[in-house]
């Protein structure tokens, strides 16, 4: 069994897609063991009860875009206590630093709504549309110290149509994300040897 933890800050639509895939039996031997959030009222935490997975708010400390050293320790210790083999960042809006990364080498993956290495950082979908690209999409990659850097595992391409708006195109990218991330987790589970 490959145990994984989901971490997010927001809506949790990707976490929901993953949990639905798990319930449908399409994640292979991957099993969610916890949902963690840095936002006490994030919708992602409500998925816990719905799917029967423990969900916890973990205080990130006072910074906006990163965790304090103490908070990193709290996250690392909590993840360790679940026995997780994989950490899945699904809309986690903070940069992860050294101690956290070192605790789970090549075991933290992130979802980003662009075809990396293009359009890193915030508002990636808007960035791509404003640039005028004809193809955009989403990426799942291993997390390293570089923001939205790290080895790419898989990508999905979405074509920009003439009449797409930010809203319509965002919806298309989200649909692609909801397929891609569960597929990658299933792939990693198939390759996983404890
Ligand atoms: C996704 O678009 C993901 O690519 C980005 O944050 C968003 C999270 O959405 N990192 P949700 O919370 O899964 O609905």
Q: Say how many Å lie between the CA of residue 124 and the centre of ligand 1.
A: 11
pLDDT tens, the chain, 194 aa long = 999 999 999 999 999 999 999 999 999 999 999 999 999 999 999 999 999 999 999 999 999 999 999 999 999 999 999 999 999 999 999 999 999 999 999 999 999 999 999 999 999 999 999 999 999 999 999 999 999 999 999 999 999 999 999 999 999 999 999 999 999 999 999 999 86
Q: Which residues line ligand 1 (CB under 6 A)?
A: 8, 10-15, 90-91, 111-113, 138, 177
Q: What domains are defined for the chain?
A: 2-192 (3.40.50.170)
The confidence score (pLDDT) of residue 119 equals: 98
Alpha helices (H) in 35-152, listed in sequence order: 43-51, 69-82, 98-103, 124-131
Residue 13 Cα: closest atom of ligand 1: 14
Q: What are phi and psi of 79, to 5 degrees?
A: -65, -45
Handedness of CA 21, 27, 33, 36 (dihedral sign): negative
Ligand 1: which of 36, 41, 91 to mutate, most ligand atoms within 8 Å of CB? Answer: 91
Quick check: helix, strand or coil at residue 132? Answer: coil
Cα–Cα distance between 148 and 38 in angstroms, integer?
19
Q: Say how many Å lie between the CA of residue 90 and the centre of ligand 1.
A: 6
Question: Which residue has its alpha carbon closest to ligand 1 atom 7?
Answer: 91
The confidence score (pLDDT) of residue 193 equals: 80
Identify which of 96, 120, 127 has the alpha carbon closest to the alpha carbon of residue 109: 96
């Amino acid at each position: 069994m490959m145990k994984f933890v989901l971490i997010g800050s927001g809506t949790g639509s990707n976490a929901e897609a993953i949990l639905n895939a798990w319930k449908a039996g399409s994640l292979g031997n991957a099993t969610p063991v916890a949902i963690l959030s840095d936002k006490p009222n994030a919708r992602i935490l409500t998925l816990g009860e719905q799917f029967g997975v423990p969900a916890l708010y973990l205080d990130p400390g006072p910074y906006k875009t990163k965790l304090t050293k103490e908070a990193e320790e709290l996250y690392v210790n909590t993840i360790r206590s679940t026995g997780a083999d994989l950490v899945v960042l699904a809309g986690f809006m903070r940069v992860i630093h050294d101690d956290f990364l070192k605790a789970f080498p090549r075991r933290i993956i992130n979802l980003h709504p662009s075809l990396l290495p293009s359009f890193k950082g915030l508002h990636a979908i808007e960035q791509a549309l404003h640039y005028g690209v004809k193809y955009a999409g989403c990426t799942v990659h291993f997390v390293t110290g570089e923001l939205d850097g790290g080895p790419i595992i898989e990508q999905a391409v979405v074509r920009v149509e003439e009449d797409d708006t930010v809203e319509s195109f965002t919806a298309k990218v989200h649909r692609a994300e909801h397929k891609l991330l569960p597929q990658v987790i299933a792939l990693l589970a198939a390759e996983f040897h404890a």
